[in-house]
Structure 1
Amino acid sequence: MGFGNANPVAAVDCRSAASSYDLASSGVSSRLRRYSTCVIYSAGNDDCYSEFRRLKSAQTDFELAVMGYKSACP
């Protein structure tokens, strides 16, 4: 990703936002796998609430990361 003569602060902000986005995306993927695994193997004995709560939290982090990326990397 070339930034040329762009504002170096903006370039750093964009790289930071991209890093946050990548981390949040990985978090959602990981939590989704854990939730899915819980649902598959619950056999009616686990409502998987804690896994779902963590997935919702990861989704919130992802939404914030998307907003940050859109703002920092126009």
Structure 2
Amino acid sequence: MAKEILCAFGVDVDAVAGWLGSYGGEDSPDDISRGLFAGEVGAPRLLKLFERYGLRTTWFIPGHSMETFPEQMKA
């Protein structure tokens, strides 16, 4: 008998934390670049990946990321 294995996926989007300094790090061009990539490229890629495999996920998104990337975050 095959053993059933369950797995949960949670996504934490904190795309603009680097701009706000809310994570305790320094503001830098690298942080800004990562934040833009996360909101504009990373989140849509994850949505497509999860959809392709029929995976249900839970997303945790701070208000400041939702305000900065409203179209990407409403999916």
TM range (shorter): 0.3 to 0.5
Higher relative contact order (CA 8 A, sep 6+): 1
TM-score, normalised with respect to structure 1 = 0.35
Structure with more of its chain in helix, by fraction? 1
Structure with more of its chain in strand, by fraction? 2
TM-score, normalised with respect to structure 2 = 0.35
